Structure 1
Amino acid sequence: MPEPQQLEAYFALTEAVSLLQHQVEQQLRAEGGISTVQFQILMALNGAGQLTMTQLADGVVYSRSGLTYQAGLLEKAGLVTRGPSPEDERATLVAITPKGRDTVAKVLPGHIEVTRRLLYEAVPAADLRRLRDIMSRVRDHIREEPPRSAAPRRRRTS
């Protein structure tokens, strides 16, 4: 059984993340018509230009089927393109389009404002450095597990 202090830290973290994600989601939908996961996909592609679906799934931490669905929605909206990789015929490359870059440019200032107002104003700079260091260690520890894309697919039993 976890100690009370561990439970308090866990629930404070999960509640804070949920509240922040809710506000971020509202801002992204209002200003760009996109979801948080779609923003994460576009941001990953905005930096890289193009990535394989596996790279996106591992980076965004989303299921394969969910990512395929989200990439399909982004493609329909003209924000990304998908196609076969010239290096690996089994891989699908996803690339950001100029419209996708415009969407990032449109929503990013509001995203920064929401996170500044809700997170950075509540945490002094020295604490923010500690929070970054702590959460980076937690993230890296969790990422030591095999990526979700490497997990075997479960067969459905009917």
Structure 2
Amino acid sequence: MTLDAADLSLLAMLQRDSAKTAQELGDALNMSASQAGRRKQRLEAEGYIAGYRAFLSPEKVGLSVQGFIQVVMATHTEKNARDFVQLTRTRPEIVGAWTLTGEADYLLRVYCRDLAALNLLVQQVLLPHPAVSRVQSQIVMERIKPDAPLPL
């Protein structure tokens, strides 16, 4: 399906504030609340909108350390990859994981309550995993741009 200008505007608005009511969306799009609501439902049903969530303040909930961890695999077998991916899904500190080209095989985004918790994650969870050869972590000093909406 092709998105029209109103669809793109609606998606952009929802990325900035997903709590907008159908009336607010309709007003901004110069259409009725019911039209905006139906459009939103269609975009949800077709998978353009994957879900909604609240963005929490990590510091307010006690997560003072954000880091990125590059992981190099010991061997590149299907089982190692499957086991490592399963590990990333079971650890709540790992909030994002990507496969990469280049020297590292995976990039993990983590939030921990403090440096000791980050150290435990690296030393007692990641490094002992049989699929892992090496890790390199970077600690975020300052977040200068929060996760931004997709460029529509």
Determine which structure has the larger helix proportion and give its number.
1
What TM-score comes out, normalization by structure 2 length? 0.31
Structure 1 or 2, whichever has the larger Rg, is 2
Determine which structure has the larger strand proportion and give its number.
2
